Structure 1
């Protein structure tokens, strides 16, 4: 017999009985089916179509019927009253049950540790995509790091594959933890940071006695070896940092795996910067060589879109170059490859050359922020301060390496050097500027897809010509100074990292 308690409510599934404070509540059969379906999948986002199939298995209905049932169920539960939250809508995806939930079936006498332990339930762990390209060593190494360090954050730009890597790690480790206790919380589904502790409690199945779930979480996790994955935390970064800090310090048996576009910056956190997929060593690879690189993901998605031809040696360098133009970002490759069935490989090259990659549609069942590259960047851009937005847009004129001196030259006349330097550092922390080490020196640049988006924002601000002119004047001055100071060979070497920006200036 399944009996669940949440807040003042008690649901007996087999008797189809919902009670509040011991008194029965009469709700319609469809609304009760809806509540049971959501509770049965607590912690997960249940899609609209799946819910409609569960609640109306033999009837064809419109989505409006589901919305009406959700509204009526929320009203019956008094969802939102005095801060109580039970059902959340995740735009573009579906609904999720977020209240801390207790399964009374597992309860035993006080002090019965084995019976109490069986009450611990995992939030449903999504499946890993069947094709995991170029990440096997990363997953293996990070899995060991999670076990040894307990607190690992996988950080990188949007679409690079952080969630996929985290899920692969979770699946590889799930039998290392008590009662298969590996819990996944989709931070992207949480709009109010205050809801994060409740979402974690719900994923764990923790009994919570009052409006603050933290004491209940601590008590419930005592001596339980558990892995908690907090995914896509960049928009609730403060809440994720606060919760992670207290869990890491208070519960030594809890292991944390975080994915975010920026690190939490906490004591004890081990940060792994997830790198882009590798390029082929040969710039003109054969089909066989290319299929050991991101091209294998490209061709997999191209085939799924209706492209029937296998990759030829003639097309292999073209596909490898497409992946490079997309910065070897997994989501960008997937979106562009999904159009090969319509346009062919050469036609897809034309799409990228014309800047269409930002608006190509991804999968319909993808997260809203993952349905286009523009939406992917909007997710980050909206969370920047107005000043950071302006700086990012202005930096789009740099095609290759960008230096602080150059950034200051194209900045607003009112920009103070310290403020601009800090803004660039913050953009780097948020994975919008890529920082790499070249011969012991840090090198900053925008990924091509980020630069294309930022260029669009620069035009939207009406500053494109003004910033491009400042960019051209700065590089003209640099070229003149270099010509006067150094021999030709030395000057060519010193400017090699900025040659792409020079080409961009000439095009302007």
Structure 2
């Protein structure tokens, strides 16, 4: 049975009890607050504070005790406690009554004032809704939605019928506030995936695709970002919420149309100050909150039935603890809401000053100011003037130091913490404590928003407030000074970040520094546009290179680096860093095109002039990778020779291994399997994971995984199929454990999948493709998407599904157009064999002749024997004598290369032909000799076929 909680047993019982304060239930041990059995989204700090309060109901709990409970191992500012108390109060709002649970005791602490019972749970909780994990992806609402029940229901019905709905209205009308509960209700009703994208930090339309991709957990690598992003959404059931589209509206409209047209299971809910005017858009115009009309007397109870008045009173209670609307205050409050035209943001801003002015004075001052604003600009909607007036008024009521702080903080594009605020403003205010207090006061007065979801509090300005404060910064003549300081802060932080890359994991590094991206973009936008700021722009661009590299934003890096170079870099050292970054970016953005090698050549020329050994190695490595992608094996070996000459002079034993692997891979592709195996084994025997993350190391694949993958291919060719499978499994394990997605993708496409096709394990090949598809959902990359299509079609035709011919033909053509040549002969061979089955022998022969030409040029000599065999298969129906000659030539070429597996395949084809001719003894004698050289892998496809052919002789 429930019992009142006694102080003596509160700590011991908290881990096994639930606390009930209707309509809420709270289970501290599970960090779970339920509202009518529905979980409430709150951060862990706020829930720790709630636990301390409900365990001591009715007591005054000191601020010290609350901070000790929420931050047991840290010393934090009191401001953090105030922020979390405010969040707790807003989350626990029942029937329009906030602050009915947690009361402030001035100068002493806080008290939980609602009746509390506690009980030990004897039955398990009902399972949380299946949508809870999806709901947690949405930002926590700043407050419960007030007065929008019918609006939310209407939007929900529309969203069920239409795939693209935009909520449109002026700034401050509450578009985002409405969008969140609509999204919550929709995913609860449909069990669909959710993604929320906040676009307000973006300073340029070109970052829209990257922002959406990042929110989806993707990395867009390709030059055509929209196509890559949309490709990953084709099969996903998703509600995509795009918040604050108005300042990047053209780019959003283009992206939305592409998604609607090509991703049939994706729905979009957008908020904007104007319609996107995109195809299929349903525009829902959000109206102001209802408020009482002018006229006769009205009581407090009657006024509270209007959502505008209710919202005002809820916010007033936050600034004036315990405030309740009285009949005496009602006329003034109704007048305020009427003057503010029901605009939620304006109402909330006005309500924050109830503690200083009271309802009557507030109404009088607000009224006079709005009369003045009626003489403002013509052609502007009245509600826009009204919101501007409320901001003017709120700004004027701030203290001088708070106004100055707000102006300066407006230069931040995204979220910022107290350290950033102090670095930007502390010198002006001369005291860090003044900055901390100022930030706390701006949060209290709703001029700043606190984000409590992370382990530390971050802050941001609302869009309208930020725009307003930036205008004030311009008027004060301070913009240039604080833009410069903003840039210098982020530059210095990024310089520091480069020094921490060795000591932090990639995930921790990104968590710490990735959030600076929006501010870096904003600072660079200002510096490149401002007079006499090019040196600042260049210095920040150089400092930001590791950030773009770690976030795989190589196209963005490419754009800013080009702008920096166009300014004329004074420092040759900086120019070298910029050109090296340009070379890496252009390689992955454009692929192995002529401009890519030109970029690396420029890096090498400058590195030679400065005698910078590391950059010389980077340039040679980049040029070698470019030529490897293009299939130019001899060119790789030429560059490798110079690389090795330089590498021996550099005291970094991890640097040469990357080129050693490229050399070994080149030897493998040129048909020198014994040499390749020796080189690869030496690399693996002496492999040490890089401890120093040099610029070259950050650009590379996981070298152990990539080396094992190439070794697996060599082992299969040499006649060790079982060892090949075991080696490729080790390659996959190394790639997965590295946490480096490109390494996993490379291992699948270039090692694991081909080996499974070779041994005939099509089920394993399909599992690998499914894994690759999962990675492609997170790392949108057009080239890899095309490669996946090619591999998927390959396994289908391998299983005998010739309907995949068109997909295979198209994918092979796209790979050729992109200049991507690795394993191209094998792709052409699969296509040629499928064409032959469908009676298109001539077309297939043309492809095989082209593949043989690639072999002759040294690009694909490793599979020359197989190309000769397939040519024989295609010719066999019309010229058996020529086919036999090709099979014998294939056996000879494979023998010269040490490719026993190719020899077996050619011998199988020859033996099969001889059996059909009725003279199979010669073919089987040859096959028996080759078969007898195998020591393992007898359950793989080619050996099973050989055994069957040999058995037919008996």
Q: TM-score, normalised by structure 2?
A: 0.26
Higher helix share: 2
Higher RCO structure (Cα 8 Å, ≥6 apart):
1
Higher strand share: 1
Q: TM-score, normalised by structure 1?
A: 0.48
